[in-house]
Structure 1
């Protein structure tokens, strides 16, 4: 997990300087820089919630990337101590993502939510990804090679946009700030006006020795393009970072069929 890389990625896309965000949440820019570079530990849940408000992304996303306990959960555990024992049982049994999904389905059936979750719904990755935009077990010697291939797949779904334009936009954003979020995952992305949100997925047969925030070689790219900006776009980026923090590269790295990618991704997203 490398929360700092995700915070920097979101901050840059939100158009905020390090100094601006630091001032808004009441900390020094030096402290925020240390967090973004992984020198300092992840901020407290309260401070993460403040960052989420300023970036206009759902707070649970950042909590999950940081593997921090949400204040909402902490308050509930204080009110209902027995819930803590149940969480310990889940941990002791080491339920998988698929098993936790079954538990969630049972909860929704037996104990329907009494009120909507207070945060904005998070846009899932699955609906903007299709088998023809998956490149599995690719062999390449540089990040640029993977971007070229992904841009070609994305351009095929965008008749008005050339692959060369997509590559140029992806490289421009990468030059501005690294899109690697840790755990072997990078999220290259580009804004292209008047286009729907689309994703391409590239897994690498051999890890790519490129610069990453946690020094884990790159194994998987989720390449995003779209005309949207603002909260929905930032939530989409944060959601991919959250998937990365929960083992996206490990779960998909050895898959050779697009249908299996879809199945594993659906299970992972359903468990979040």
Structure 2
């Protein structure tokens, strides 16, 4: 995943200018631009926390996306040395992804994260998808063709939505700022606050050579429509699909159910 492109996607959809975000976190707009364009590394955990709060996102989600978990954890262990015993117990028991998800659910229930105490749960990506909205090995020459087909499937899931209008809104958002997040993944979307979110997953038979943050052609599209609860968090979670292994498995899937299982697996790994 290209962190800078993901950050730009989230910032644009939050309606925050580059200069405004830079001022909020105490850095120059030139520095933040370099981060978004991949010329500088992801910010430190402290700055990531400031960015998350400015965008109303869970701080740990941005830290995870930036792969800054280790320094974040190291600093926490310096402040609370006794926490190392809990990590050791988890390692000693060799908890798997499903068991860690249960631990994570307990922590969320007993000790809500910052900003989550009164907020309703944000739906998982696999909850936004159905087999009917998973399109595998689509042959197309233009990104607009894939968006049009996804919009047709999505319009059928949301009463009152018209496929042509929906496709036009998604394409307009894509023109405003491309939604590629790296490793062949893009997240075209139209945020409609009053609409509960739905999504369509598209894998391509042949990679599409369009401008991307890491110059890798597009292979997977996760098209999201709606808003409801915490739409930016859904987009951030979608960026987790942008890894070589996940993209390869999604593109190799021969049934919608297999593709959905991979999405669920990715989400179970992160909790």
How high is the TM-score relative to the length of structure 1?
A: 0.86
2:240 corresponding residue in structure 1: 242
- Residue by residue over 1:64-118, the C-alpha shift from the partner in whole angstroms, topping out at 9 and shown as x without a partner, is 111111666224433155677789999xxxx9xxx83144268579xx6493241
Whether 1:118 aligns to 2:113 is yes
Structure 2 residue ranges without an equivalent (≥5): none
Shift of 1:220: 0.3
2:265 corresponding residue in structure 1: 267
Contact 2:45 2:72 in 1 (8 A): no
- Indicate the SS of the match to 1:271: helix
Shift of 1:169: 0.2
Contact 1:6 1:241 in 2 (8 A): yes
**Pair 1:30–1:139, CA change in 2 (3 A):** same
1:200 corresponding residue in structure 2: 200
Shift of 1:171: 0.9
2:138 corresponding residue in structure 1: 138
Whether 1:101 aligns to 2:97 is yes
- Indicate the SS of the match to 1:204: strand
Distance 2:222 2:2 in 1: 17
- Residue by residue over 1:195-225, the C-alpha shift from the partner in whole angstroms, topping out at 9 and shown as x without a partner, is 2210000001111111110111111000000
* Greater alpha carbon shift after TM alignment, 65-74 vs 208-217: 65-74
**Pair 1:106–1:197, CA change in 2 (3 A):** closer
Shift of 1:252: 1.1
Distance 1:232 1:244 in 2: 20
- Indicate the SS of the match to 1:260: helix
Shift of 1:156: 1.3
